[in-house]
């Protein structure tokens, strides 16, 4: 028979408390959910999708900013959401909106230990590269590779948000050269 020590009991209770907090993540704004639902529907036209995205000017700006980033290397400037949909396609718009939705639900403030903008740029780049590799290898579910790449460091953001004092302690320990943690 296994008897849990007091320390293990405390750790388990703390973990359960953290999991309850994490499962209550802020939902993405309704418009992101609406756009993702449209992207799942095979009958959605580019015009319908553009109309839905256009309801939220900040979403339009974010998609256009990402579309015009050096990552895509487009020869022409993307100036309208309609053009972004036409050039990037539904799958890439879905990836962008999924990333934005996740970023919105885990919105944290930056501090000296974690720059949120850099964190999400890194996650998006890894996600896009993961999808590209999956596409190049002929994998049918490259969208899953995108999501996997997007989520690969999610624990960092969760710890930063829900266990901030622990996050700070870990960062400070790493600065002093500590490499392993119990």
The model scores a pTM over 0.85: no
Taking the C-alpha atoms of residue 145 and residue 136, their distance in angstroms, rounded to an integer, is 12
For 148-182, what is each residue's pLDDT tens digit? 888 898 888 888 888 888 889 889 988 888 877 66
HSE-up of residue 74 (Cα within 13 Å, Cβ side): 16
Tell me which residues of the chain have a pLDDT lower than 70: 1-6, 21-28, 181-182
DSSP 33-100: HHHHHHHH-TT--HHHHHHHHTT-HHHHHHHHHHHTSTTT--SS---SHHHHHHHHHHHHHHHHHHHH
Query: What Rg value do the Cα atoms of the chain yield, rounded?
Result: 20
pLDDT at 2: 46
Taking the C-alpha atoms of residue 128 and residue 150, their distance in angstroms, rounded to an integer, is 8
pLDDT at 81: 93
- The structure tokens listed for 109 are 């403030």
Taking the C-alpha atoms of residue 32 and residue 94, their distance in angstroms, rounded to an integer, is 10
pLDDT at 1: 44
- Cβ atoms of 161 and 133 within 8 Å: the answer is no
Taking the C-alpha atoms of residue 60 and residue 66, their distance in angstroms, rounded to an integer, is 10
């Amino acid at each position: 028979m296994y008897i849990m020590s007091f320390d293990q009991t405390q750790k388990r209770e703390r973990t359960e408390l953290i999991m309850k907090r994490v499962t209550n993540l802020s939902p993405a704004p309704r418009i992101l959910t609406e756009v993702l639902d449209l992207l799942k529907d095979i009958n959605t036209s580019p015009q319908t999708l553009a109309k839905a995205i256009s309801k939220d000017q900040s979403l339009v700006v974010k998609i256009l900013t990402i579309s015009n980033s050096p990552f895509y290397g487009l020869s022409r400037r993307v100036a309208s959401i309609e053009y972004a949909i036409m050039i990037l396609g539904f799958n890439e718009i879905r990836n962008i909106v999924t990333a934005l939705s996740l970023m919105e639900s885990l919105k944290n403030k930056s501090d000296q230990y974690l720059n949120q903008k850099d964190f999400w740029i890194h996650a998006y780049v890894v996600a896009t590269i993961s999808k590209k590799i999956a596409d190049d290898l002929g994998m049918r579910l490259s969208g899953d590779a995108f999501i996997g790449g997007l989520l690969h460091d999610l624990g960092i953001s969760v710890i930063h948000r829900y266990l901030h004092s622990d996050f700070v302690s870990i960062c400070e320990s790493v600065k002093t050269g500590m490499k392993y943690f119990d």
